[in-house]
Amino acid sequence: MRIIEEIGKVYLKKGLPEFRVGDTLKVHVKIREGEKERLQAFTGQVIGRKGSGVNASATLRKISYGEGVERVFLLNSPMIARIEVAKREPVRRAKLYYTREKTGGKTR
Amino acid sequence: MKKYKMGLLGKKLGMTQIFTDDGKAVQVTVVQAGPCTIVQLKSGNAGAYHALQLGFEAGKAKSLTKPLQGHFAKAGTPPFKFLREVRVSGDEFKNYAAGQVIGAAIFEEGDFVDVSGISKGKGYAGVIKRHHFHGFGASHGTHEYFRHGGSIGQHSFPGRVFKGVGMAGQLGNARATVQNLEIVKVIGDKNLLLIGGAVPGANGSYLVIKKAIKKRTRAERK
């Protein structure tokens, strides 16, 4: 196990902000369009965190034009340029999957 | 002509993922591949057969049988826990000597390998798990017949069950090979291989890693 962690260490990112399930994050993702590269932000509530070390990921959910959109981010991916914590929100669950069944104003 | 490709012995350590230069995540199996000691050079059949007997992971002499202890003593190597033969071509055979230690460095990033090991045992499994049968619908009055295999043959002609009909039985815990897996990374000084995808067996089980029989290595492609 130790050897496997060592392999992942190279890819670990420094300066990842501390955040918890329930917080709202703004994730700046690198998007490649042909030769050009630009940043696109995805803002959403963290509804779950998974994995450790290089495998760590977070599931973000947001409501886009009335439609629920979820995206899983590998936190240590080089495609993620920056992560900002937009809002802190204490919750009492480790996973907020129940928000999928609620829509509109009830998501809070 | 049949080609015999060089291989190594190794141990599955586990799986993880790494990122490529263009930012893609790749799932890899970490394999401790070597150091392997050449215990014996084998050739026979009037020069048509050449093989290296490799030993991997030194163990205790007392846990081996007397004949094996004698075999290692004669070779002058420590007693190994895992001993397998790798067949090589006559030309390649000349480059090796008994007692020589080889490691993961014989592989290059981008090479393809075939990995063999003992698959995880699943015990006595039914036909759905073992042969991917579809089973039966739970409605229309099906009674105690959800995961059965159905008919296994015809009638008094042919009057027997054909060979190869899928039935329940032992699944797994048998030698399995996965072909054409790409080597994503070689860590030569630690004898580690990162092999893209999954390989047979549980973590800690022994593997035979050979250069892929159906693909050329990076050096050969040039």
The predicted pLDDT at position B26 comes to 92
The predicted pLDDT at position B222 comes to 61
Structure tokens at B63: 């846990």
- pLDDT per residue over A7-50, tens digit each? 888 888 888 889 999 999 999 999 888 888 889 999 999 999 99
The predicted pLDDT at position B1 comes to 46
**In angstroms, rounded to a whole number, what is the distance separating the alpha carbons of residues B167 and B109?**
42
Query: CA of B25: which chain A residue's CA is closest?
Result: A77
Across the interface, which of B16, B23, B187 has its CB nearest the CB of A77? B23
Task: Name which of B50, B48, B43 is nearest B87 in CA terms.
Answer: B50
**In angstroms, rounded to a whole number, what is the distance separating the alpha carbons of residues B124 and B18?**
36
**At A3, is the secondary structure helix, strand, or coil?**
helix
**At A75, is the secondary structure helix, strand, or coil?**
coil
Using an 8 Å Cβ cutoff, are B102 and B144 in contact?
no
Mean pLDDT score, B119-142: 93
- pLDDT per residue over B32-76, tens digit each? 987 899 999 888 877 788 889 999 988 888 888 999 999 998 888
The predicted pLDDT at position B190 comes to 87
Q: What are phi and psi of B137, to 5 degrees?
A: -65, 150
Using an 8 Å Cβ cutoff, are B191 and B185 in contact?
no
Residue A26 CB-density burial (10 A; 0-12 exposed, 13-18 middle, 19+ buried): middle
Q: Which of A3, A9, A13, A73 to mutate to test the interface with B (most CBs of B within 10 A)?
A: A3
Using an 8 Å Cβ cutoff, are B92 and B6 in contact?
yes
Cβ separation of A78 and B23 shorter than 8 Å?
yes
Q: How many CA atoms lie within 13 A of B45 on its CB side?
A: 6
| Residues near A19 by beta carbon (within 8 Å), at least 6 away in sequence | A25, A46, A58, A83, A85
Asked if B25 is an interface residue toward chain A (Cβ–Cβ < 8 A), one would say: yes
Cβ separation of A4 and B16 shorter than 8 Å?
yes
Contacts of B187 in chain A (CB under 8 A): 7
Contacts of B188 in chain A (CB under 8 A): none
Contacts of B23 in chain A (CB under 8 A): 30, 77-79
Contacts of A30 in chain B (CB under 8 A): 23
The one-letter amino acid code at B188 reads G
Percentage of chain B exceeding pLDDT 70: 96
- pLDDT per residue over B85-117, tens digit each? 998 888 888 888 888 888 888 888 888 999 999
Asked if B13 is an interface residue toward chain A (Cβ–Cβ < 8 A), one would say: yes
Cβ separation of B18 and A76 shorter than 8 Å?
no
Cβ separation of A77 and B30 shorter than 8 Å?
no
DSSP chain B: ------EEEEEEEEEEEEE-TTS-EEEEEEEEE--EEEEEEEEETTTTEEEEEEEEEE--GGGS-HHHHHHHHHHTSPPEEEEEEEE--HHHHTT--TT-EE-GGGS-TT-EEEEEEEPPP-EEE-HHHHH------S-TT--S-SS-------BTTB-SPPTT----EEESSSEEEEEEEEEEEEEGGGTEEEEES--SS-TT-EEEEEE-SSS--HHHH-
The predicted pLDDT at position A95 comes to 93
Cβ separation of A77 and B14 shorter than 8 Å?
no
Task: Name which of B171, B169, B151 is nearest B161 in CA terms.
Answer: B151
Percentage of chain A exceeding pLDDT 70: 93
Structure tokens at B35: 């150091």
- pLDDT per residue over A65-86, tens digit each? 888 899 999 999 988 988 999 9
Contacts of B18 in chain A (CB under 8 A): 7-8, 10-11, 54
Across the interface, which of B14, B19, B23 has its CB nearest the CB of A4? B14
- Which A residues 60-79 touch B at CB under 8 Å? 74, 76-79
Predicted model pTM: 0.83
Which residue, chain included where needed, has tokens 């069944």?
Answer: A101
Q: How far is A79 from chain B (nearest CA, A)?
A: 6
pLDDT higher than threshold 80 for residue B221: no
Can you say whether the dihedral through the CA atoms of B205, B210, B211, B212 is positive or negative?
negative
Asked if B16 is an interface residue toward chain A (Cβ–Cβ < 8 A), one would say: yes
Structure tokens at B213: 């029989």
pLDDT higher than threshold 70 for residue B195: yes
Residue B217, phi-psi category: left (phi > 0), alpha (psi -120 to 50), beta (remainder) = beta
| Residues near B127 by beta carbon (within 8 Å), at least 6 away in sequence | B133, B147, B148, B149, B166, B167, B168
- Which B residues 129-188 touch A at CB under 8 Å? 187
End-to-end CA distance of chain A: 40
